[in-house]
Amino acid sequence: MVIGGVACGPKAAARARRRDPNADITIIERGELLSYAGCGMPYYIQGEVKTTDELMMTPAGALRDAAFFKFVKDINVMSRTLAQRIDRFRKVVEVVALDSGETAEVPYDKLVIATGADAVVPPCPGTDLKGVFRLNHPMDAEGIREAVANGCKEAVIVGAGLIGVEVAEALASQGLCVTMIEMLPTVVPSVLDPELSLLLQKQLEFHGVTVLTGTRVLSFEGDDQGLVRTVVTDKGPVSAQLVLVAIGVRPNVKLAQDAGLELGPTGAIKVNEYLQTSDPSIYAGGDCVENVHLITRKPVYVPLGSTANKHGRVIGDNVTGGKTKFEGVLGTVVFKAFDWNVGRVGLSETECEKLGIPYVTALTPGPDRAHYYPTSKPVILKMVAHSETGKLLGVQAVGPGDVVKRIDVAATAITFGINARDVSALDLGYAPPFSSAVDIIQHAANVIDNKLSGLAKSVTPLQVKRRLESDKDFVLLDVRTPAEVQSERFKNERIVHIPVGKLRERINELPRDKDIIIFCKTSLRAWEAQRILEGEGFTRVWFLDGGLAAWPYPKD
C-alpha cells in the first residue's frame, strides 16, 4: 500500500508490480491527479508546455490516470482519498474519501509513505488574499496562468530560490513586470556561492527582473475585493496583482509523526539505506524524507523529482523482497534562468567554510565548445576541492553555455570520490561542436592542480574587492591587449597596463616591493604573467581568479 500518488509513490508501485505480478497494490492519493510532473509547472506558466495534461502523460501519450494504473499496471488507485492515520499495530491505514466523507480501513503488509512536501507559507498577514499563489500543484499553475491571462501586469516573487527564478522567467517573458524579493543577501543562496549569485542576479536584471535582496516581506495588502495589490517589505511597498510565494518547501510528515515514526534532524522522515522508516514494515521516499549527503555523510533535505523517482525504484525492489540500497545525494541542482544555465553539485565554498573543510577553489570562465565554433557560449565554472586530499568536493557553473554536462561529469566523479586532478585526465567526448580540446571542467581541474602544487597563486574577486576598498597600496596589473582594455574598462588608479606579450621587456616598470594582483579576461594570461614575474624574481604576485569575465562587482 502506497500513500501518495506523485513521483515516488507510483514509481514504487509500478516497480513492485513488475517484480511481483501477484502483489495486491493500492495507491492512496488525496488529489485527483496522479504522477504529474510538478517540475514542469513553471514551463506551463510560461506557455512552453501548453496544457497541464501534457504534464500528466507518459512519453507515449497515455494519461496517467486511475484507469491507466488499473489496466496497464493492475494497481488500484484511490484518488481524492486522504490517509488520516496509520495504525502500525493492526497494520491498517484509516482513510477518508474526500467527496463522500466515508471512512474506511485499508490493511497493509508493507506500507510506503510518499506524502511529498508542501510550499511553505510565510507567517505574515495577507497570504490568503486572491492572487497570492504557491506552486504546489498543477491547479496553482493554472491559477497563475489565468491571472496572467486576466491581465496582471505586476508580479512579485517572494523567495529567489530555483522555483522563484524559473517562474520569474516564465512571467517576465510574457511581459509582466517582475520583482523578486529575497531575505538573504544573494539570489539562490543555497545553490551558488556569492560571486556566482551576483553574476546570475545581473542576468536576471538584464532581463528586466527587479531583484531586491536582503529584503523582508512584512505583509500582503489587498483591495476591497480581497485581491492582492501590494507587497509590504521592510524596504517599502511593492505593487503587485500577482504574488508567488516560493520560500521553500516543508516535508509532509504529520502522518508519519503521528504514527510514531522517527523524524531526522532536518525535520523530514528518517530512513535507512533501504528507505525503511523506524518501522521496518514502513518505507518512505520522495520529498517527505531526508537523504544522506554523499560527501559529508550527514542528513540533508533536498527534495527533487529525480531523487523521488530513484527512491520509488529502490522501495519497489525492497517491498518485494529485494535488498537495494539508496546511498545518498550530492545536492545537485540545475535550472534555466532566461538564456543562462545554472547548476551546482556537491559542496560550495560557503558550505566548506561552515563545515570546516579545508578547500581550494578555481574560478574559470571559458567557452563551452571550441571557441571558434559559431555556437560556442561562455560558462563560468567554479570548482571546489579538498586542499589536503585533493578530492573534488563541488562544482558550480553559470552562463549561456552548456553548464549541465559539466555538472553531470562532476556528479559522477564526486560520487566515486575522485581527485580533482583526475578530472583533467578523463577521456571526455571532444569535437569542436561540443567542447574544447581541454574542456572547461578539465581546465578547472588543471587550475586546482596548479594551485595545490603551489604553481598558481590567486586571489578571489571578493578579496580583490576588499583590497580595492581599503587604502592599501598595491598594483593592479592588467595584461590584456590595448583593444580589450579599450572595449572593457576597469577603472582604478592602481592599474598598470602591460600586455602579457610585452611583460618580459617592460618588467622594470613594475615594483618589486609591492603586492601585484594581475588580471586579464579569464585569468589564463594573468596566470601566465604570474609565472613570468616569478621567473624574474618577483614574489608578491597573484592573479585575480576568473578575471574580468567572472568579476561580479562594479568595474570602477
64-103 positions binding a copy of itself, by CB under 8 A: 68, 71-74
Pick from 433, 466, 492, 553: which binds a copy of itself (CB under 8 A)? 433
Asked if residue 63 binds a copy of itself (CB under 8 A), the reply is no
283-302 positions binding a copy of itself, by CB under 8 A: 294
Exactly one of 8, 39, 152, 520 is catalytic; which is it? 39
Asked if residue 454 binds a copy of itself (CB under 8 A), the reply is no
Of 19-27, 231-239, 276-284, 350-358, the segment contacting a copy of itself by CB under 8 A is 19-27
Grid cell 588543471 is found at: 446
Q: Angle between the 194-206 and 461-469 helix axes, to the nearest 10 degrees?
A: 90
Burial environment of residue 535 by CB neighbours within 10 A (0 to 12, 13 to 18, 19 or more): exposed
Q: Is 88 in contact with 260 (CB distance < 8 Å)?
A: yes
Q: How far is the CB of 406 from a copy of itself (least distance, A)?
A: 8
Q: Which is nearer to a copy of itself, 89 or 416 (CB)?
A: 416
372-391 positions binding a copy of itself, by CB under 8 A: 372-374
Cα three-residue angle 119-303-122, rounded to 5 degrees: 20
CA distances from residue 206 to 26, 164, 202, 552 in whole angstroms, order as listed:
50, 16, 6, 14
Asked if residue 124 binds a copy of itself (CB under 8 A), the reply is no
Of 441, 445, 467, 464, the residue nearest 456 (C-alpha): 445
Q: How far is the CB of 391 from a copy of itself (least distance, A)?
A: 13
CA distance 110 to 16: 11
Asked if residue 307 binds a copy of itself (CB under 8 A), the reply is yes
Is 181 in a helix, a strand, or coil?
Answer: strand
Of 113-121, 323-331, 355-363, 511-519, the segment contacting a copy of itself by CB under 8 A is 323-331
SS3 assignment for 284-322: ECHHHECEEECCCCCEECCCCHHHHHHHHHHHHHHCCCC
Q: Which is nearer to a copy of itself, 250 or 336 (CB)?
A: 336
395-414 positions binding a copy of itself, by CB under 8 A: 402, 404-405, 407-409, 411-413
Q: Which is nearer to a copy of itself, 149 or 437 (CB)?
A: 437
Cα three-residue angle 167-173-176, rounded to 5 degrees: 80
Q: Is 448 in contact with 488 (CB distance < 8 Å)?
A: no
Burial environment of residue 485 by CB neighbours within 10 A (0 to 12, 13 to 18, 19 or more): middle
Asked if residue 367 binds a copy of itself (CB under 8 A), the reply is yes
Grid cell 529525480 is found at: 306
Q: Which is nearer to a copy of itself, 229 or 480 (CB)?
A: 480
Hey, which bits of 111-264 come out as E strands?
A: 111-113, 117-119, 132-133, 154-158, 177-181, 210-212, 217-222, 228-233, 236-239, 242-245, 249-251
Is 388 in a helix, a strand, or coil?
Answer: coil
Pick from 89, 236, 297, 416: which binds a copy of itself (CB under 8 A)? 416
Pick from 227, 426, 495, 507: which binds a copy of itself (CB under 8 A)? 426
DSSP state of 509: G
Q: Is 78 in contact with 27 (CB distance < 8 Å)?
A: yes
Pick from 31, 49, 274, 299: which binds a copy of itself (CB under 8 A)? 49
Q: Judged by CB under 8 A, how many residues of this single chain contact a copy of itself?
A: 105
End-to-end Cα, the chain, rounded Å = 63
480-539 positions binding a copy of itself, by CB under 8 A: 480-481, 484, 500-502, 504-505, 520-522, 524-525, 527-528, 531-532, 534-536
Of 122, 121, 125, the residue nearest 226 (C-alpha): 125
Of 56-64, 189-197, 217-225, 460-468, the segment contacting a copy of itself by CB under 8 A is 56-64
39 is catalytic: yes
Pick from 26, 79, 81, 446: which binds a copy of itself (CB under 8 A)? 446
Q: How far is the CB of 517 from a copy of itself (least distance, A)?
A: 19
Pick from 313, 382, 391, 451: which binds a copy of itself (CB under 8 A)? 313
Asked if residue 331 binds a copy of itself (CB under 8 A), the reply is yes
DSSP state of 26: E
CA distance 81 to 493: 70
Q: Which is nearer to a copy of itself, 254 or 502 (CB)?
A: 502
Site string (251-280) toward a copy of itself, x via CB under 8 A? ------------------------------
Q: How far is the CB of 383 from a copy of itself (least distance, A)?
A: 15
132-191 positions binding a copy of itself, by CB under 8 A: 162
Asked if residue 339 binds a copy of itself (CB under 8 A), the reply is no
Of 271, 302, 376, 314, the residue nearest 117 (C-alpha): 302
Q: Indicate which residues carry an active-site annotation.
A: 39
